[in-house]
Amino acid sequence: MSWSKLKQRLESFLCPALIGRVEYRATGYRYLPDKAGLCYIAVDKKNVLNMSDAATAVKWYQSELEIKHDADIHVPIGIDEIEAVRIETKGNVPEERLKVIARGRKIADYAKELMSAQSALSKSNFTVEATKFLALPIEESLESRDILLNILALVDRRVGKKRILDMRERIKSKHPVVQYFHELRLRTF
Protein backbone atom coordinates (compact mmCIF):
# COMPACT_ATOMS: atom_id res chain seq x y z
CA MET A 1 0.00 0.00 0.00
CA SER A 2 1.34 3.45 -0.86
CA TRP A 3 2.22 5.90 1.91
CA SER A 4 -0.51 8.37 0.92
CA LYS A 5 -3.19 5.68 0.97
CA LEU A 6 -1.95 4.30 4.30
CA LYS A 7 -1.88 7.79 5.82
CA GLN A 8 -5.39 8.48 4.59
CA ARG A 9 -6.71 5.23 6.13
CA LEU A 10 -4.96 5.87 9.45
CA GLU A 11 -6.29 9.41 9.66
CA SER A 12 -9.81 8.17 8.90
CA PHE A 13 -9.68 6.21 12.19
CA LEU A 14 -8.71 9.23 14.34
CA CYS A 15 -11.18 10.17 17.05
CA PRO A 16 -13.09 13.34 16.11
CA ALA A 17 -11.37 15.51 18.75
CA LEU A 18 -7.92 14.70 17.32
CA ILE A 19 -8.66 15.22 13.64
CA GLY A 20 -6.31 17.93 12.42
CA ARG A 21 -4.25 17.75 15.61
CA VAL A 22 -2.56 14.35 15.09
CA GLU A 23 -0.68 13.87 11.82
CA TYR A 24 1.34 11.01 10.38
CA ARG A 25 4.31 12.22 8.36
CA ALA A 26 7.08 10.56 6.38
CA THR A 27 10.09 11.51 4.36
CA GLY A 28 11.48 9.35 1.62
CA TYR A 29 14.64 9.27 -0.39
CA ARG A 30 13.76 8.90 -4.02
CA TYR A 31 17.28 8.25 -5.24
CA LEU A 32 18.40 6.16 -2.27
CA PRO A 33 15.86 3.33 -2.08
CA ASP A 34 17.97 1.34 0.39
CA LYS A 35 18.03 4.22 2.87
CA ALA A 36 15.06 4.25 5.21
CA GLY A 37 13.16 7.49 5.43
CA LEU A 38 11.96 9.09 8.59
CA CYS A 39 8.47 8.65 9.94
CA TYR A 40 7.05 10.62 12.78
CA ILE A 41 3.80 11.41 14.49
CA ALA A 42 3.06 15.08 15.08
CA VAL A 43 0.60 16.59 17.53
CA ASP A 44 -0.35 20.21 16.98
CA LYS A 45 2.45 20.54 14.37
CA LYS A 46 5.08 19.37 16.90
CA ASN A 47 6.97 16.11 16.32
CA VAL A 48 6.15 13.85 19.24
CA LEU A 49 7.48 10.49 18.07
CA ASN A 50 10.34 10.25 15.59
CA MET A 51 10.84 6.86 14.04
CA SER A 52 14.36 6.32 12.79
CA ASP A 53 17.20 3.86 13.11
CA ALA A 54 19.30 4.17 16.25
CA ALA A 55 22.35 2.69 17.94
CA THR A 56 20.52 0.15 20.07
CA ALA A 57 23.39 -0.87 22.38
CA VAL A 58 24.00 2.66 23.64
CA LYS A 59 20.30 3.57 23.89
CA TRP A 60 19.43 0.36 25.73
CA TYR A 61 21.91 1.15 28.46
CA GLN A 62 20.66 4.72 28.75
CA SER A 63 17.07 3.55 28.87
CA GLU A 64 17.83 1.09 31.65
CA LEU A 65 19.41 3.81 33.76
CA GLU A 66 16.57 6.21 33.04
CA ILE A 67 14.03 3.58 34.04
CA LYS A 68 15.90 2.70 37.23
CA HIS A 69 16.10 6.34 38.31
CA ASP A 70 12.65 7.51 37.18
CA ALA A 71 10.33 7.61 40.19
CA ASP A 72 7.26 7.99 37.95
CA ILE A 73 7.63 4.54 36.40
CA HIS A 74 5.67 1.99 38.36
CA VAL A 75 6.96 -1.57 37.95
CA PRO A 76 4.70 -4.00 39.82
CA ILE A 77 6.44 -6.99 41.40
CA GLY A 78 4.45 -10.16 41.96
CA ILE A 79 4.81 -12.70 44.75
CA ASP A 80 5.84 -15.35 42.22
CA GLU A 81 8.77 -13.16 41.07
CA ILE A 82 9.96 -12.68 44.64
CA GLU A 83 9.59 -16.41 45.27
CA ALA A 84 11.67 -17.21 42.18
CA VAL A 85 14.50 -15.03 43.53
CA ARG A 86 14.16 -16.68 46.97
CA ILE A 87 14.50 -20.16 45.42
CA GLU A 88 17.44 -19.06 43.28
CA THR A 89 19.30 -17.58 46.26
CA LYS A 90 18.38 -20.61 48.44
CA GLY A 91 16.79 -18.41 51.11
CA ASN A 92 20.05 -16.69 52.12
CA VAL A 93 18.82 -13.17 51.28
CA PRO A 94 16.69 -10.90 53.54
CA GLU A 95 13.09 -10.25 52.46
CA GLU A 96 13.65 -6.55 51.62
CA ARG A 97 16.60 -7.43 49.39
CA LEU A 98 14.53 -10.05 47.53
CA LYS A 99 12.13 -7.31 46.45
CA VAL A 100 15.03 -5.11 45.28
CA ILE A 101 16.54 -7.96 43.25
CA ALA A 102 13.19 -8.91 41.69
CA ARG A 103 12.45 -5.26 40.83
CA GLY A 104 15.93 -4.82 39.31
CA ARG A 105 15.45 -7.86 37.08
CA LYS A 106 12.02 -6.72 35.98
CA ILE A 107 13.31 -3.21 35.19
CA ALA A 108 16.15 -4.70 33.11
CA ASP A 109 13.63 -6.81 31.15
CA TYR A 110 11.40 -3.77 30.71
CA ALA A 111 14.34 -1.72 29.40
CA LYS A 112 15.21 -4.44 26.87
CA GLU A 113 11.62 -4.57 25.62
CA LEU A 114 11.50 -0.79 25.45
CA MET A 115 14.70 -0.58 23.44
CA SER A 116 13.69 -3.32 21.00
CA ALA A 117 10.40 -1.51 20.42
CA GLN A 118 12.18 1.83 19.94
CA SER A 119 14.72 0.40 17.52
CA ALA A 120 11.95 -1.10 15.38
CA LEU A 121 10.44 2.30 14.58
CA SER A 122 11.79 2.99 11.12
CA LYS A 123 9.79 3.85 8.01
CA SER A 124 9.55 0.31 6.72
CA ASN A 125 8.50 -0.95 10.12
CA PHE A 126 6.00 1.88 10.50
CA THR A 127 4.22 0.89 7.30
CA VAL A 128 4.27 -2.79 8.30
CA GLU A 129 2.95 -2.06 11.80
CA ALA A 130 0.35 0.43 10.54
CA THR A 131 -0.90 -2.11 8.01
CA LYS A 132 -1.03 -4.72 10.76
CA PHE A 133 -2.97 -2.26 12.94
CA LEU A 134 -5.58 -1.82 10.21
CA ALA A 135 -6.07 -5.60 10.05
CA LEU A 136 -6.07 -6.36 13.80
CA PRO A 137 -8.97 -6.01 16.22
CA ILE A 138 -8.56 -2.87 18.34
CA GLU A 139 -8.27 -4.93 21.56
CA GLU A 140 -5.14 -6.69 20.29
CA SER A 141 -3.53 -3.36 19.40
CA LEU A 142 -4.27 -1.99 22.87
CA GLU A 143 -2.82 -5.06 24.61
CA SER A 144 0.23 -5.32 22.34
CA ARG A 145 3.77 -4.67 23.58
CA ASP A 146 4.44 -2.70 20.40
CA ILE A 147 4.62 1.03 21.06
CA LEU A 148 3.27 2.00 17.66
CA LEU A 149 0.24 -0.30 17.86
CA ASN A 150 -0.55 1.15 21.30
CA ILE A 151 -0.37 4.72 19.99
CA LEU A 152 -2.49 4.03 16.93
CA ALA A 153 -5.11 2.32 19.10
CA LEU A 154 -5.17 5.12 21.67
CA VAL A 155 -6.02 7.78 19.08
CA ASP A 156 -8.56 5.52 17.36
CA ARG A 157 -12.22 6.55 17.40
CA ARG A 158 -13.26 2.96 18.25
CA VAL A 159 -11.71 3.32 21.72
CA GLY A 160 -14.19 5.07 23.97
CA LYS A 161 -14.00 7.04 27.16
CA LYS A 162 -14.68 4.09 29.48
CA ARG A 163 -11.91 1.98 27.97
CA ILE A 164 -9.42 4.88 28.10
CA LEU A 165 -10.28 5.51 31.77
CA ASP A 166 -9.96 1.79 32.62
CA MET A 167 -6.43 1.74 31.19
CA ARG A 168 -4.95 4.21 33.70
CA GLU A 169 -3.08 1.60 35.78
CA ARG A 170 -1.82 -0.50 32.85
CA ILE A 171 -0.56 2.58 31.01
CA LYS A 172 1.89 3.39 33.84
CA SER A 173 4.17 0.53 32.79
CA LYS A 174 4.18 1.55 29.12
CA HIS A 175 6.65 3.70 27.19
CA PRO A 176 6.44 7.44 28.03
CA VAL A 177 5.22 8.30 24.53
CA VAL A 178 2.32 5.83 24.95
CA GLN A 179 1.55 7.56 28.26
CA TYR A 180 1.66 10.91 26.42
CA PHE A 181 -0.94 9.76 23.89
CA HIS A 182 -3.09 8.33 26.68
CA GLU A 183 -3.03 11.73 28.43
CA LEU A 184 -3.76 13.46 25.12
CA ARG A 185 -6.80 11.27 24.65
CA LEU A 186 -7.96 11.84 28.24
CA ARG A 187 -7.91 15.60 27.60
CA THR A 188 -10.33 15.16 24.67
CA PHE A 189 -13.19 14.09 26.94
pLDDT digits 0-9 by tens, 88-105: 988 888 988 998 899 888
Domains of the chain: total: 2
Q: Are residues 69 and 45 in the same domain?
A: no
pLDDT of 87 over the 50 cut: yes
How many helices (H) and strands (E) the chain has is answered by 10, 3
pLDDT digits (tens, 9 = 90+) for 33-82: 555 566 778 899 888 877 654 432 333 446 677 777 777 667 778 899 98
Q: Are residues 151 and 113 in the same domain?
A: no
Q: How many other CB atoms sit within 10 Å of the CB of residue 137?
A: 10
Q: Are residues 138 and 180 in the same domain?
A: yes
Q: Which amino acid is at 52?
A: S
Specify the pLDDT at position 28.
65
Mean pLDDT to the nearest integer, 125-130:
80
End-of-domain residue from the set 101, 118, 135: 118
Pick the range with the lowest mean pLDDT from 11-15, 63-67, 75-79, 184-188: 63-67
Q: Are residues 48 and 135 in the same domain?
A: yes
Q: Are residues 93 and 143 in the same domain?
A: no
pLDDT of 121 over the 70 cut: no
∠122-123-128 over CA atoms, to 5°? 100
Q: Are residues 48 and 125 in the same domain?
A: yes
pLDDT grade, residue 31 (50/70/90)?
low
Structural domain that includes position 159: 3-52+121-186
Global pTM reads 0.71
Percent of the chain at pLDDT > 90 equals 34
From the list 100, 98, 96, 107, the residue with the least C-alpha distance to 69 is 107
pLDDT digits (tens, 9 = 90+) for 153-181: 999 999 999 999 999 888 887 777 888 89
H or E stretch at 24: strand 22-26
